[in-house]
Structure 1
């Protein structure tokens, strides 16, 4: 599964004051090339919205708990419009909502599987059809240790090298090239059967080598 984030500052986003815990906005927009080199084309969400075996869940930071539900989801000319409702009485949901209204949280991020893509070269591609898995409210890791924790969580849950690379790009803002290189280094550490503490320290050194945030 791949992830793609969108800052709340860059989209139309609003809260319903008469309905505490509810909000609406765009989880994804069409056109342009994002930091991953991807361009999402109009029509990418039509099939996944209409035909589903299970609902698109609303999570905290992709790997966190389900903190609410999406009450509306539709594709417009601008992108993927959503309306959400955070679960009343849920401790995490309450904290997330307070942080959203305060502007302390960075945005929304979709968890998806690419169904139809077109490679454009130089690490760029067009996404013609997407299968939505979940949409998360996300924060930006504040320091290197937080990023390493996200990387370890991603590796634990990923089912393929491509998924690991996608999680690295989402969790740490890696480019495709850096994500591929880091995964290769991590694989070499695992094959060498290093002690966990030593491996974590070496991974931190790799972050610093790449001069990533």
Structure 2
């Protein structure tokens, strides 16, 4: 299965307190269709269809992680399905076996921790140049985490640095957010990203050297 950029990405959503039960079970939406998020992205209906089928065929539950930490699974999910709103999930925490799961459950019940966040790879997407919106049409779902904030896991500056450290290129929207947090105005970030990174991404996809693009971006960071 070919992943675009080979970079796992995250999206987060809030859930309601009354969807967290005393026995450690909970429900909510791992993703909502049709809304434009802070990355300028939309998840399209059907984006999870193939991934859900593959997870069901495996016979194993999708992991519930703590704060996207791969070394800290705290439960899993029995139900994964798409409805008219988005990706509906029902999960459970191993509160009697894993101390971190019990801690997460207590924090969820008291609304201190109130987010669900999906970890996924992009398989297929489309880009609307006019509206500058990226539509995610097929995703490879890897996990759904319990997270503290129903917002970005980390500042875009650190996110882009992490992507570069792995030898990959950020998406156009990720780089624009990176520029904004680096001090550029929205219009400046749009121009720099569209004229600079877009060209680098195009060259990389058409057979150009990714190493040249990575070097250019790393040099840009050092100059800031």
TM-score range, shorter chain: 0.5 to 0.7
The answer on whether the counterparts of 1:56 and 1:134 sit within 8 Å (CA) in structure 2 is yes
Instruction: Name the structure 1 match of 2:109.
Output: 101
Instruction: Name the structure 2 match of 1:33.
Output: 36
Give the whole-Å Cα distance in 1 for the aligned partners of 2:61 and 2:25: 18
Secondary structure (helix, strand or coil) at the match of 1:161 reads: coil
Kindly provide the CA deviation profile for residues 148-201 of structure 1, in whole angstroms up to 9, marking residues without a partner as x: 8x948x829973434xx47xxxxxxx96413268698993499x8xxxxxxxxx
Instruction: Name the structure 1 match of 2:50.
Output: 47
The answer on whether the counterparts of 1:43 and 1:75 sit within 8 Å (CA) in structure 2 is yes
Instruction: Name the structure 2 match of 1:6.
Output: 13
Give the whole-Å Cα distance in 1 for the aligned partners of 2:83 and 2:49: 10
Kindly provide the CA deviation profile for residues 130-160 of structure 1, in whole angstroms up to 9, marking residues without a partner as x: 110111011139xxxx958x948x8299734
TM-score by length of 1: 0.67
Secondary structure (helix, strand or coil) at the match of 2:19 reads: strand
Give the whole-Å Cα distance in 1 for the aligned partners of 2:149 and 2:176: 21
Give the whole-Å Cα distance in 2 for the aligned partners of 1:60 and 1:36: 23
Shift of 1:6: 0.9
The answer on whether the counterparts of 1:13 and 1:25 sit within 8 Å (CA) in structure 2 is no
The answer on whether the counterparts of 1:60 and 1:136 sit within 8 Å (CA) in structure 2 is yes
Instruction: Name the structure 2 match of 1:132.
Output: 141
Unaligned runs of 5+ in 1: 167-173, 193-201, 207-213
Give the whole-Å Cα distance in 2 for the aligned partners of 1:45 and 1:133: 11
Instruction: Name the structure 2 match of 1:85.
Output: 92
How many residues in Structure 1 have an aligned counterpart in Structure 2? 174
Of 51, 54, 69, which aligns to 1:63? 69
TM-score by length of 2: 0.64
Change (3 A) 1:123 1:55: farther
Give the whole-Å Cα distance in 1 for the aligned partners of 2:111 and 2:45: 29
* In the alignment, structure 1 residue 16 sits paired with structure 2 residue 21: yes
Instruction: Name the structure 2 match of 1:120.
Output: 128
Secondary structure (helix, strand or coil) at the match of 1:134 reads: strand
Secondary structure (helix, strand or coil) at the match of 2:75 reads: strand
